Chains A and B, each alone.
Chain A
Amino acid sequence: MINTFVGNLGHLMTIVAFVSALVTAYAYVQYFRANEIEKASWRRFSRISFYIHTASTVMIAFSLFEIIYNHRYEYFYAYSHSSKALPVHYMISSFWEGQEGAFILWAFWNVILGVILIQTNKFWEAPVMVVFALVQAFLISMIMGVVIGDLKIGSSPFMLLRDATQAPIFQLNPDFVPEDGTGLNPLLQNIWMVIHPPTLFLGYASTLVPFAFLIGGLVTKKYSEWIRPALPWAIFSAMILGMGIIMGAYWAYVTLNFGGYWNWDPVENAVYVPWLILVASIHTMITFKKSATALKTSIVLVILSFILVLYATFLVRSGVLGDASVHSFTDLGLSGQLLIYMLFFLVIAVFLAARAWKHIPTSEKEASVYSREFWIFLGAVTLGLMAFQVILPTSIPAWNALVESFGGISNMAPPANQVEFYTKFQLWFAVAIALLTSVGQFFWWQKIDKKALKDALVTPYIVSVLISAAIIVLAKVYDWKYIIIVLAGTFTIVANAVILMKILKKSTFKLAGGSLAHIGLGLILIGIMFSSGYSDVISINMSGLTYSNSWEDEMNKEHVLLWINKPTQMKDYTVIYRGRQKKVVGVNEYVPAKLLESTGKVNEAIALADFKDHFKKGDVVKIVLEENDYFKIDYLQNETLKFSLSPMSQFNAGMGGLISSPDSKIYLNKDLYTYVAAMNDSEDPEWKEDETYEATPGEQFYIADFVTYFDGAEVLKEVDGYQLQEGDIAVKAKLRILDYDVEKSIEPTFIIRNNQIGKLPVIDTELGIKVSLENILPEQNKFVFKVNQYQKDYVVMKAIVKPYINVLWIGTIIMLIGFTVAIFRRFDEFQKMRDKGLE
C-alpha cells in the first residue's frame, strides 16, 4: 500500500519553510527599522518566525530520511537512490546523492548557522538574518516542486514514483510499489560519501556568513566594523571548505579509479576557485584590521567568494557542463532558478557596494615595499589570478551555452589535457605564493627595513638551501622545475617555522595559526610535487610480445593483463592474480568467492566449504554488498610473497558498467596504488563446443592445456543436493587439475537410475571450464569426460607508485590546524569587543 503521508508532510514542510523564510526576512527588516518601543516585540516575532523555519527545515530532512530509511519505494527519490541491501550509514549517503537532498543539506546547515548567529550577535542580528532568510527562501524554492502553468519551481524529492515515471505498470496498478530500489551508486558506497558532502556543504553554507555581515555593514553604513565579526567566520568557512576539498581529493584517491587525487575536473575546479578567493579575502581582512588598508579589496573578495559558490553550484547542477565532467549531474530544470538566485545576490551586493563606494575609508598613503600590506596584497593578487586562470577555461561550456542561447555557434571545448594545462600555471603561482608567505610573515611580526629583512631572511635561506640540497640528492629530484618547487616549499617551511618558534617563545599558541597554515602549504607543495610529478606507472606491459607490429606497440601500454594464477613480471615485482573474494559480515578478512554460493536472497550466501575458524560448510553467511568483488593480487619479490592487495570492482548494469575502487599498499614514503580496469564477465558464459577425453584411473592427460591427473573413481553413498534411491548407482571421478602452482580438485558425478543416466557436471569459473563425467566404459577401464571451455578468469589492472604522498596529507592536516587556531583567536577578539558592548 502506498504511504502518502510522509511525502505530504515533507511537501507541506517545504511550503511552511519557504513562507516562513519570507516572513522572517520581512520581520527582521521591520525589527531593524522599528523604534525602541516596538523593537523588542519585532525581535521576538522575527526569532519565532526563524525558529519555525528552522523546525520545518529539519522536518523536511526528517521526512526524506524516513522515506529512505523505511524503504518507501513508492517515492521516486528512495527508489532511485537507495535499495534494501544498503546499511544505515549508506542510507545517509542516499539522502544527499540526489540534488534535492543536497539542497536540503545545504538549507539545513544554513539554519544551524543562523541559530548560532542569533545566539552570538547583538547588533548584527537583524541585517545578517535578513540575508540569511532570503538565501533560505531561494534554497527551499529549489525543492518546492510547484508547477504554475508552464512554470516549474523546484524539483520535489517527495514525488511519487508513479508521477515521476511513465512506467506502464502504473496504468494497470496505480498502487504498485517496487520490491526494491535501484540502489546507491556504488562509487558512493563509501565512508567518505557519508562525511564529505556534509563537510563541503557546511563550507558552502558558511561562505554566507561573512557575506551577510558585509551586506549588513553596507546597509547600516558600518563600512569597516563588519570585518571583526565576519573574520572568524571567513576563516571557519575556508577551513571547512578546504577540509571538504581535501576529503574529496582523498576520496577520489582511495575509492575512485581516476588514478589520482586531483584531476582539474570542472566540478573540482568549481570548489577550488571560491576557496582561493576566500583565502585571499581572509588575508586582506586581517591586513585591514592591522592597518586600515585593503578594505575595498576585502569587500570585493567577500562578495566574489559568495557569488562564486553560487556560480559553482550553477555550473555543476544546471547540466551546462554536460559531458565535460566525470561528475554527472542530471539537469533537473533548475538552471534558470539557480541563475536567478546567483544574479539576485550579485546585483544586490554590487548595488550596495557601489552606493557605499565613495564613503568607504581608504588609506591615502602608498604602501611601502617594506610593509606587510604590500606583500599580503601581492599574495591576494596572486590568489586572485590563480582563481581567474582556473575559472576561465572551466566556464567554456557555460560560455558555449550563452553564445548558443543568443543564436550563435561556439565550438570551443575545454583543454584536451586538463592536468597539463592547469598545472602549467598553478604550479608557478603556488611557488610565488609559497615565497610570498615566507617573506610576508617576517614583515607581519615586526617593522622591518631593508637591512633587518636581510638579516632575518639569511639564516632561513641558508638552512632551506641545505635541506633542499639533501632532498634533491636523496630523492633524486633532477628536473629543474621540481628543484625550484623543493626550494620554494622548504623555504616556506623553514621561514615559517622560525616565525612559529619566535611566537611560541614570546607569546601564546593562539597567534600561531598563520605560520602553521603556511608550513602546511609548504608541505602540500612538496607532497604534490613528489606524488604527482614522480608518480610512476609500474604496470607497463613487459610481456615482451608485440601484438600488431605497428605504431600501436610504440604506445605505452599502462595496463597489464593478469590471467589467474599466472605470474607476471611488473617492474620490481612479480604479480599474481589469485581470484575473486567477498566481504562477509563478522569476518575480518576477505573470503574467496568460490567458497560461497548465493541463496537467492539479497546479500546472503551458503558456504560451500569451511573457512578457517569463521564458518563451516553449509553455514548461511551475510555478505557485505554482494555485488562487490575484491580481486586478490599477490605481489612477490624474489619469489616470496610481500603483500596482497584487493582492489574492488563490481559489475553494475544499472549504473552502467564496471565500478572500480583501488587498493593501496601504504608505506611511510610511498603508496603503491592498484586498480582493476577490466575484468572477465563470467555471469553468462558462452561455452565453446564439446571436447571429449577418455582416461583410465591413474593416467595423466591434458584438459585444455591444463595438466590433469585422474586419481580414480569412487562409488558414492550420498550426493549433495540429490536424493539417492534404492538401486541407484552414483560414481564420482576424482580429477586434479594443475594451473601453475595451484592444484584444483574437480569431481564430476555420474548417476545411474533405472538405466537412465544423470550427470552432475562441475564448473570452475576461475579456470573457465565445465567438466562432466559422460560415460564409464568398464570393459576398457575407461572414463569419458566432456569438457567445455569458456575463458580463464583474468583482470586488467593498473599499478602506480606515488612517492611521498603522506607529505601532502600531513601538510593538509597542519594547514587545517593552523586555520582552526586562527578561528579561535579571531572569535575571541570578536567576543571581547561584543561583550564590551561595542558591537
Chain B
Amino acid sequence: MKKGHIIGLGIIAIAIVIIMTSIGDASSYENFKTAWEMKEGGEDKSIHVVGQLKKDATGQVTGLEVREDKTSFTFLLIDNEGTEQKVFYNEPVPADFQRSEQVVVIGSYREKEIFVADKILMKCPSKYQETDVKAAGM
C-alpha cells in the first residue's frame, strides 16, 4: 500500500468521525411535549425550544420571577404548540427580554415543573421594522 493511500484512508476516517460527532452533538428543535418525552426516555441532551413569553390581556409579560439576588430568574414560556412551561435561567434578566417577540431556550428538563435553560436567544423587534418614525424623530 502506498503512503498516499494510507493518508487518504486516514483523512476519510477522520472526516467520518467528524461527521458522526457533528450529527451526534447537534442539538434539535423540539417543543415542550417532545422535550419532556425525551427526558422521560432518559435523553439528557440540551435541546432548543422556540416559544413566546406569556402575556396578560394588556400585553404585559406575566410570570417573570426574579430571585432576590437578581442573578437568576424564572419565566413562563409558551411554545409553538401552545404548551406553557416554567423556565429557569441562571443569569440576570437580559434587559431586552420583555420586549422580545420570540425566545429560544436551549437546555433541558430538570423535572416536569421546571425547564432549565443554559442559554437564551432572543429575537427582538428589529429596528428595521420600525414604523413609528415619530417617536424618534420629533
Interface contact A413-B29, CB-CB below 8 Å: yes
CA distance A388 to B14 in the complex (A): 10
Q: How far does the Cβ of A280 sit from chain B's closest Cβ, in whole Å?
A: 13
- Chain B residues with CB under 8 Å of A557's CB are 69, 71-72, 90
Determine the residue in chain B with the shortest Cβ distance to A399: B26
Point out the residue from B7, B92, B128, B137 that lies within 8 Å of A179, measured CB to CB.
B137
Near A by CB (< 8 A), chain B positions 79-138 give 88, 90-97, 99, 102, 104, 106-107, 110, 118-119, 121, 123-128, 130-134, 136-138
A741 close to B (CB within 8 Å): no
What mask results when residues 246 to 270 of chain A are scored 1 for a CB within 8 Å of chain B, else 0? 0000000000000000000000000
Interface contact A323-B102, CB-CB below 8 Å: yes
Near A by CB (< 8 A), chain B positions 35-52 give 45-48
CA distance A180 to B135 in the complex (A): 10
CA distance A179 to B131 in the complex (A): 16
Interface contact B137-A178, CB-CB below 8 Å: yes
B56 close to A (CB within 8 Å): no
- Chain A residues with CB under 8 Å of B130's CB are 80, 165, 182
Tell me if B's interface is mostly helix, strand, loop or mixed. mixed
Interface contact B96-A416, CB-CB below 8 Å: no
Interface contact B7-A412, CB-CB below 8 Å: no
List 7 A-B residue pairs with CB atoms under 8 Å apart, sorted by A's residue number: A80-B128, A323-B104, A378-B7, A393-B22, A411-B28, A543-B69, A552-B88
B15 close to A (CB within 8 Å): yes
Determine the residue in chain B with the shortest Cβ distance to A545: B69
- Chain A residues with CB under 8 Å of B45's CB are 416
Q: How far does the Cβ of A631 sit from chain B's closest Cβ, in whole Å?
A: 14
CA distance A374 to B7 in the complex (A): 10
- Chain B residues with CB under 8 Å of A149's CB are none
Interface contact B121-A417, CB-CB below 8 Å: no
Interface contact B97-A657, CB-CB below 8 Å: yes
Q: How far does the Cβ of A81 sit from chain B's closest Cβ, in whole Å?
A: 10
Interface contact B68-A547, CB-CB below 8 Å: yes
Q: How far does the Cβ of B85 sit from chain A's closest Cβ, in whole Å?
A: 17
Interface contact A651-B95, CB-CB below 8 Å: yes
B19 close to A (CB within 8 Å): yes
Interface contact A161-B29, CB-CB below 8 Å: no
A838 close to B (CB within 8 Å): no
Determine the residue in chain B with the shortest Cβ distance to A653: B99
Near B by CB (< 8 A), chain A positions 370-424 give 374, 377-378, 381, 385, 388-389, 392-393, 396, 411-417, 421, 424
Q: Are A366 and B3 also in contact (CB < 8 A) when A169-B134, A541-B69, A547-B69 are?
A: yes
- Chain A residues with CB under 8 Å of B106's CB are 413, 416
B18 close to A (CB within 8 Å): yes
Interface contact B134-A167, CB-CB below 8 Å: yes
- Chain B residues with CB under 8 Å of A181's CB are 136
Q: Are A416 and B133 also in contact (CB < 8 A) when A366-B3, A547-B67, A548-B67 are?
A: no
- Chain B residues with CB under 8 Å of A369's CB are 3
Q: Are A413 and B7 also in contact (CB < 8 A) when A178-B137, A385-B18, A561-B69 are?
A: no
- Chain A residues with CB under 8 Å of B59's CB are none
- Chain B residues with CB under 8 Å of A551's CB are 110
CA distance A166 to B132 in the complex (A): 9
- Chain B residues with CB under 8 Å of A169's CB are 133-134, 137
- Chain B residues with CB under 8 Å of A80's CB are 127-128, 130
Q: Are A161 and B133 also in contact (CB < 8 A) when A414-B27, A651-B95 are?
A: yes
B9 close to A (CB within 8 Å): no
Determine the residue in chain B with the shortest Cβ distance to A384: B11
Q: Are A414 and B26 also in contact (CB < 8 A) when A555-B90, A561-B69 are?
A: yes
- Chain A residues with CB under 8 Å of B67's CB are 547-548, 552
Q: How far does the Cβ of A767 sit from chain B's closest Cβ, in whole Å?
A: 18
Point out the residue from A330, A381, A421, A794 that lies within 8 Å of B25, measured CB to CB.
A421
Q: How far does the Cβ of A542 sit from chain B's closest Cβ, in whole Å?
A: 11
Interface contact B92-A416, CB-CB below 8 Å: no
CA distance A412 to B25 in the complex (A): 10
Q: Are A180 and B137 also in contact (CB < 8 A) when A416-B118, A655-B127 are?
A: yes
Interface contact B28-A559, CB-CB below 8 Å: no
Interface contact A796-B128, CB-CB below 8 Å: no
CA distance A783 to B21 in the complex (A): 75
B33 close to A (CB within 8 Å): no
CA distance A83 to B81 in the complex (A): 42
- Chain B residues with CB under 8 Å of A411's CB are 28-30
CA distance A393 to B19 in the complex (A): 9
A560 close to B (CB within 8 Å): yes
Interface contact A657-B133, CB-CB below 8 Å: no
- Chain A residues with CB under 8 Å of B123's CB are 323
CA distance A557 to B73 in the complex (A): 12
CA distance A161 to B128 in the complex (A): 11
Interface contact A654-B3, CB-CB below 8 Å: no
Point out the residue from A385, A541, A657 that lies within 8 Å of B11, measured CB to CB.
A385
Beyond the given pairs A415-B22, A547-B67, 16 more chain A to chain B contacts, judged by CB atoms under 8 angstroms and listed by A's residue number, are A167-B131, A167-B132, A169-B134, A178-B137, A374-B3, A389-B18, A411-B30, A414-B27, A416-B107, A416-B119, A417-B118, A557-B71, A558-B71, A561-B69, A651-B95, A677-B91
CA distance A180 to B133 in the complex (A): 10
Determine the residue in chain A with the shortest Cβ distance to B106: A416
Interface contact A559-B138, CB-CB below 8 Å: no
Interface contact B90-A385, CB-CB below 8 Å: no
- Chain A residues with CB under 8 Å of B127's CB are 80, 182, 654-655
CA distance A416 to B102 in the complex (A): 18
- Chain A residues with CB under 8 Å of B28's CB are 411-413
Interface contact B26-A412, CB-CB below 8 Å: yes
B55 close to A (CB within 8 Å): no
Q: Are A560 and B11 also in contact (CB < 8 A) when A393-B26, A425-B18, A658-B96 are?
A: no
Q: How far does the Cβ of A647 sit from chain B's closest Cβ, in whole Å?
A: 14
Interface contact A656-B26, CB-CB below 8 Å: no
A288 close to B (CB within 8 Å): no
- Chain A residues with CB under 8 Å of B136's CB are 178, 180-182, 654
Determine the residue in chain B with the shortest Cβ distance to A400: B29
Q: How far does the Cβ of B2 sit from chain A's closest Cβ, in whole Å?
A: 6
CA distance A424 to B138 in the complex (A): 53
Near B by CB (< 8 A), chain A positions 547-591 give 547-548, 551-552, 555-561
CA distance A555 to B72 in the complex (A): 10
A641 close to B (CB within 8 Å): no
Determine the residue in chain B with the shortest Cβ distance to A80: B127
